[in-house]
Structure 1
Amino acid sequence: MVREGSSIDKALSVLEAIAEHHRVTDIAAATGISKSTVHRILQSLVEWGFARADGTGGYEPGPRILTLAGRVMARFDPARQAAGALRALHERTGYTTHMAVRNGDEAVYVEKLEGRRPYQMPSRIGMSLRLHSTAIGKAILAQLDDEEVRAIAARTGLPGLTAGTLTDAESLLAGLREVRERGYAVDDGENVSDIICVGAPVLDHTGQVLGGISISALVMDMTRAELEQHAQEVMSAAREVSMAMGAPLIQPTP
């Protein structure tokens, strides 16, 4: 619904509605705007190229939307969009904070904020990370179906990096089911033996997984109680980042 009397809000509401609705009647019902006003707005959108008649009496998004989206995405920087949420998470926890985006069968760090501790994590922006042994990686894998995870496992081989690394596909899948249920992933010395990480997925404008964010510390520097507390903060930050990426509204995990 739009605020009464706001022509800009009404036009934007109609523009958003034609992504899912085609008939004037349905658009009017979805937006709460009268059919006559919806029809008038649609005519203007057609003239501007943001909508087009579909030949059956309905409307659909026009080519100018794609042109505009292409220009925006060409300049889109995930790290910049996530900067505020990452800084806030870093300030709240004091731990090293990362963001990585998926790149095929791995992920790549695009942001790192060093923790307020007398040590540094052995990570860097531009460094690749494995999906099966890291918190961000497992958060990403948990958003995929089992067959895709198995295909990735077959290609990468799931090498054991520490004594705690999950090195077979079925054990990994079982762990990912737990990740889906609770909303976050944990790397408890699975990638580097003395480092613990908590990660959550970041979704893009299509609702698909883009990457993830995490906090990292030495195992001796984060208790289980602290892990549970900070996991909620990581998930909250990941939802905020996802919204900044244009993801559909994500409800908090109960």
Structure 2
Amino acid sequence: MGNIARMGESLTRTPSTQTATSVGEKMLDVLSAAVVGARFADVVAQTGLPKATVHRILHQLVDLDFLVRDPSDRFAAGPAMLGLAGRTLNSLDVATVAHPVAVDLAREVDCTIHVGAESGEEVVYLVRQDASKPYRMRSRVGSSMAMHSSGMGKAILATWPRERVIEYAHSTGLPSRTVHTITDLDSLLAELDEISRTGYALDLGENEGGTVCVAVGIADTFGRVSYALSISTIELEYAGRTISELAPHARAAAAEIARRLGR
């Protein structure tokens, strides 16, 4: 906490014509621009700030260990920044981050919203937000389902290297959940290619008879798709592939969750 406190002190020691808030915003802009390995000129160009201002702020950030400067004159995250990032990631609760987005989406489309996480060869439900309608899905937060029989699972599988998908198929045997479950490798690979092309996955009664969903993967802080979001309902409302009409809503919500996770 010492470096953060010193950073706060540096923000308050400003000329009377400049507020601490404006200086703080500039410092954060410079830090955001520099932390990706940028040079001085890159930071100036990205922030649009005067060179003298950028130079002064960079010097402060290096002095506070939020940045380091390498021999090629590029800046990178310093020990204080890395420590802060590590503590943030350790305390990050994806369910807490995703829940308000799921609430808004359920209100928007009036369908059940799920957010799940990859867990070995399964997807675990982290969030379930019900629609206003009287029917209820069988899903429960904390329960799991097979990757290949669910929309969320297939959205994640579609980002895996083909070799890993083949290993998954051989390991699990692609067991059937319903008469519509994909149970052979060639069909699964073809389905995953289609998901990669369209950007969303469908579950047409493959995991639970009479229900359909559209799902989109969610990138985590490191850009890996280890989470997914789905919009689910009964087949009587969205017969066949018409559930795909809600794909733009799923994409927007998944992108918002990813943004809140730091992507």
TM-score with structure 2 setting the length: 0.85
- Contact in 2 for aligned 1:138/1:185 (Cα 8 Å): yes
Aligned to 1:124: 140
Aligned to 2:77: 61
Q: Does 1:154 align with 2:173?
A: no
Quote the offset at 1:97 in angstroms: 1.3
Q: Does 1:185 align with 2:201?
A: yes
Q: Flag the 1:57–1:220 CA change in 2: closer, same or farther, 3 A.
A: closer
- Contact in 1 for aligned 2:202/2:244 (Cα 8 Å): no
| Unaligned ranges ≥5, structure 2 | 1-17
Q: Deviations over 1:96-116 (max 9, x none)?
A: 211101122221111111233
Q: Deviations over 1:140-187 (max 9, x none)?
A: 111222222222222222112222111122211111111122221111
Aligned to 1:72: 88
| Unaligned ranges ≥5, structure 1 | 248-254
Aligned to 2:229: 213
Question: Letter of the aligned partner of 2:132 in structure 1?
Answer: R
Matches of 1:141 and 1:240 in 2, distance apart? 21
Quote the offset at 1:74 in angstroms: 2.1
Quote the offset at 1:225 in angstroms: 7.5
Aligned to 1:12: 28
State the percentage of identical aligned residues.
Answer: 37
Question: Letter of the aligned partner of 1:29 in structure 2?
Answer: A
Q: Flag the 1:218–1:97 CA change in 2: closer, same or farther, 3 A.
A: same
When structure 1 is superposed on structure 2, of 236-245 and 128-137 the one drifting more is: 236-245
Question: Letter of the aligned partner of 1:39 in structure 2?
Answer: H
Question: Letter of the aligned partner of 1:130 in structure 2?
Answer: A
When structure 1 is superposed on structure 2, of 134-143 and 17-26 the one drifting more is: 17-26
Of 230, 243, 247, the residue aligned with 2:259 is 243
Quote the offset at 1:26 in angstroms: 2.5
Note the aligned Cα RMSD (angstroms): 1.9
Matches of 1:26 and 1:166 in 2, distance apart? 50
Aligned to 1:172: 188
Q: Flag the 1:187–1:115 CA change in 2: closer, same or farther, 3 A.
A: same
- Contact in 1 for aligned 2:98/2:127 (Cα 8 Å): no
Matches of 2:244 and 2:36 in 1, distance apart? 38
Matches of 2:241 and 2:72 in 1, distance apart? 59
Q: Flag the 1:229–1:58 CA change in 2: closer, same or farther, 3 A.
A: closer
- Contact in 2 for aligned 1:199/1:212 (Cα 8 Å): yes
Aligned to 1:138: 154
Quote the offset at 1:218 in angstroms: 2.1
- Contact in 2 for aligned 1:21/1:27 (Cα 8 Å): no
Quote the offset at 1:243 in angstroms: 1.2
Quote the offset at 1:226 in angstroms: 5.0
Matches of 2:45 and 2:191 in 1, distance apart? 44
